[in-house]
Structure 1
Amino acid sequence: MEKVMLSVLLAVMLGFVLLFVGLFLGVSFYVGREKVSPFECGFDPIGSSRVPFSLRFFLLAVIFVVFDVEIVLLFPVVMMMGSCWMWISSYLALLGFLVLLFGGVVHEWREGSLEWEM
């Protein structure tokens, strides 16, 4: 029990040390007009440097990340399919997981988040 507490304490302390080092290194000591203005190959910037971001693109990227993680979660199950160690409860859990993901795809499709047109 003492080793576990020591490990947790060490991990928390290391996290705080890295946090403060990052905060210290992230502080900009010189802030001037040239530092905060956008640089476009030596020319004066044309228009605003802050372009409005498309929320639909962001939602599509989030959907991609969710289904990318789904593939990572399904990979060990696919590798175990041929072995005799996979029980009926594993198959039922896999089936439930796939039904949940398919329901998510159907919901996103009906909502219109999978459309590329703006």
Structure 2
Amino acid sequence: MEKVVVSVFVSVVLGLVLLLLGLVLGVSVFGGREKSSPFECGFDPVGSSRVPFSLRFFLLAVIFVVFDVEIVLLFPAVMGIGGDWMWLGGYFVLVFFLVVLFLGVVHEWREGSLEWES
């Protein structure tokens, strides 16, 4: 029981330290036209809203969201690797999940979806 309490305490302290570090380092002193603009996607906010939208930008955003969600799904497995509660089948499921994630990245890479400047 003590190991769990220590793990939770360390996780909370580490999260707070990273949060404070991000807040301190994230303060930007430099401002500009791009930062004060309501859009930071490269489009000029003045003009028609019926401009052709870049499908590559949308695809890259969707890929980011998918892999971001999958990292969140990996978090409990990573926390349980050193613990006694993770059974042998859990390790196989974790390895299978990582293989599927890796194959997805390889597929997107070979398809050229991760290339922004092409």
TM range (shorter): 0.5 to 0.7
Displacement of 1:108: 0.3
Matched residue type, 2:76: P
- Paired residue for 2:73? 73
- Paired residue for 2:52? 52
Normalised by the length of structure 2, the TM-score is 0.58
- Paired residue for 2:87? 87
Q: CA RMSD in A?
A: 1.3
- Paired residue for 1:39? none
Distance in 1 between the 2:115 and 2:103 partners? 17
Provide, for residues 8-56 of structure 1, a one-character-per-residue CA deviation record: whole Å limited to 9, x for no partner: xxxxxxxxxxxxxxxxxxxxxxxxxxxxxxxxxxxxxx75332111000
Matched residue type, 1:93: V
Distance in 2 between the 1:47 and 1:105 partners? 37
- Paired residue for 1:107? 107
Structure 2 segments unaligned to the other structure (5+ residues): 1-45
Identity fraction in percent:
78
Which runs of at least 4 in structure 1 moved beyond 4 Å after TM superposition?
none
Normalised by the length of structure 1, the TM-score is 0.58
**Number of residue equivalences:** 73
Structure 1 segments unaligned to the other structure (5+ residues): 1-45
Provide, for residues 46-97 of structure 1, a one-character-per-residue CA deviation record: whole Å limited to 9, x for no partner: 7533211100010000100000001110001111111111111000000000
- Paired residue for 1:7? none
Matched residue type, 1:104: G
